[in-house]
A and B are shown apart, each in its own frame.
Chain A
């Protein structure tokens, strides 16, 4: 293990100090959602306690204050992903809404019959279904980019698929089901060479290392606040300015208009054109606090800590016997997906739950890759920076017990 001060980090997460089923909680479902530090909880509570008001309505002090904090959060997020302007940071409900927005707005206006949209075979359903919906409407197709037995995108197969009919390639930065880190930089370059656009689902990478949308040169990138220590119901969609400018609005309503009349309505400028209705103000402020939390860390040390946990857990699992790792990409985040040769993943999850250990079991909303591997699902232990070597010992003891019960 590194000298990363995990005890000091843990102390900032009140939820971790509880017992579940009579045991101290071991939370290993971080890929589903991370827990929230005190600073994020306080930022949200303080907003409601002191500043709550509708934004961009002016006219009084509270509204000014709320607007200022809300827009400061946007600026913070722009810097966080190195976007060239704050207008390119659109607030969403999460990754899912980010994909739906681009599919519905960019997709419906840019895709035509016969066009192709490529997604990897290990995408989360939220980066498949919105594309299928728009493709069905315009007569385009959605095709899977092959993923190999280790859980890596077959980049050569992608190269062979690319032609001038491909208009969009939507890939996850990191697979939530397997933990694989995809070579999105290389993919983006290849895709741009045929004039297509790239959408990056960064839901599973954003918590792990700094993102730089300009260096990646992606056309769109989306993530969820709740997977990076922020609140649920909040997310970010980044887009290249010229694309966002050209895209039609996604939803209509207040905030997104410049002027409304029955003769014709003028839409607001970026980013408001895409933000109809009263936004999730507390969510934006909470997300801003989550960014502050992350920026306050030594992120390299945090990443090294998580990677050390993964290495330790994978080695321990393999020495237990009876379990098999699923997803063996060389580049992985701290996600350990596995199956057993003696029971269904759900059985194992239930036995772990009885011992106060939270993992995810199932297909992880990535049914195509589970089908490809012929699995009903996996058990997934996903580690975050507040997890410890002790959590791994507890997990292994829990799995020993599951084996005793079920094997």
Chain B
């Protein structure tokens, strides 16, 4: 399993996705990232941790350690799970202030994935990012 945020950072993802021209390679890579996401155990998949998306289910568990935030996330859809890995690469192991300051739209724009962050996509990604940001600003 890969630790997103340390083994794979947001810069790594920007760089790797930059190599690919076609959507197929890009999507394959994203799906593979999802497969590397550390698993969330069944105990984490509670109603409380469920992020309401329209179609697929997304769960998020937040943990704070030594002033840094760590997230575990899971989804029942592969592509969304890959996109979760992309998000966690940006947020994991950062302080609440760093999480708040991170320009997530700019990041997704650089990845050419911005449309997935739109709330109309109904993939729960937007809602998850909002929850992470809320967790950060509540601390």
Contacts and interface: CB of A to CB of B under 8 A. Distances in A.
Place the interface of chain A in its size category. 10 to 19
Contact of A347 (B23, B24, B78, B122): B78
Contacts of B92: none
Contact of A362 (B23, B27, B54, B80): B54
B77 A362 contact: no
B23 to A, nearest CB: 5
Contacts of A346: 55-56, 77, 79-80, 123
Nearest to B123: A346
A344 interface: yes
Contacts of A362: 54-55, 122
B31 A344 contact: no
A344 B27 contact: no
Interface string A337-357: 000000111110011001000
A273 B55 CA distance: 40
B76 A344 contact: yes
A361 B55 CA distance: 8
A345 B56 CA distance: 8
A377 interface: yes
A21 B31 contact: no
Contacts of B27: 350-351, 354, 405
A108 to B, nearest CB: 31
Contacts of A354: 23-24, 27
A376 interface: yes
A347 B23 CA distance: 14
A377 B77 contact: no
Contact of B55 (A21, A376, A405, A406): A376
Given A21-B23, A354-B23, A406-B31, A343 B77 contact: yes
Nearest to B78: A347
Interface string B122-134: 1100000000000
A346 B121 CA distance: 10
Contacts of A401: 24
A127 to B, nearest CB: 20
A33 B81 CA distance: 30
Interface string B72-101: 000011111000000000000000000000
A401 B29 CA distance: 15
Given A346-B77, A347-B77, A376-B56, A405 B122 contact: no
Contacts of B31: 405-406
B57 interface: yes
Contacts of B78: 343-344, 347, 406
Contact of A344 (B24, B28, B56): B56
A376 B123 CA distance: 13
Contacts of A343: 77-78
B76 to A, nearest CB: 5
Contacts of B79: 346-347, 350-351
A187 to B, nearest CB: 32
Contacts of A377: 55
A354 B78 CA distance: 15
Contacts of A376: 55-57, 76
A117 B130 CA distance: 40
A406 B77 CA distance: 10
Between B28, B55, B57, the greatest number of chain A beta carbons within 10 A of the residue's beta carbon is seen for B55
Contacts of A363: 55
A343 B78 CA distance: 7
Interface in A321-375: 343-347, 350-351, 354, 361-363
Contacts of B55: 344-346, 361-363, 376-377
25 contacts: A343-B78, A344-B55, A344-B77, A344-B78, A345-B55, A346-B55, A346-B56, A346-B79, A346-B80, A347-B79, A350-B27, A350-B79, A351-B79, A354-B23, A354-B27, A362-B54, A363-B55, A376-B57, A376-B76, A377-B55, A401-B24, A405-B24, A405-B27, A405-B28, A406-B31
Given A344-B78, A376-B57, 15 more contacts: A343-B78, A344-B56, A344-B76, A344-B80, A345-B55, A346-B55, A347-B78, A347-B80, A350-B27, A350-B79, A361-B55, A376-B56, A376-B76, A405-B24, A406-B31
Interface of A: 21, 343-347, 350-351, 354, 361-363, 376-377, 401, 405-406
Q: Which 4 A-B pairs have the closest CB atoms?
A: A344-B77, A362-B55, A346-B77, A346-B55
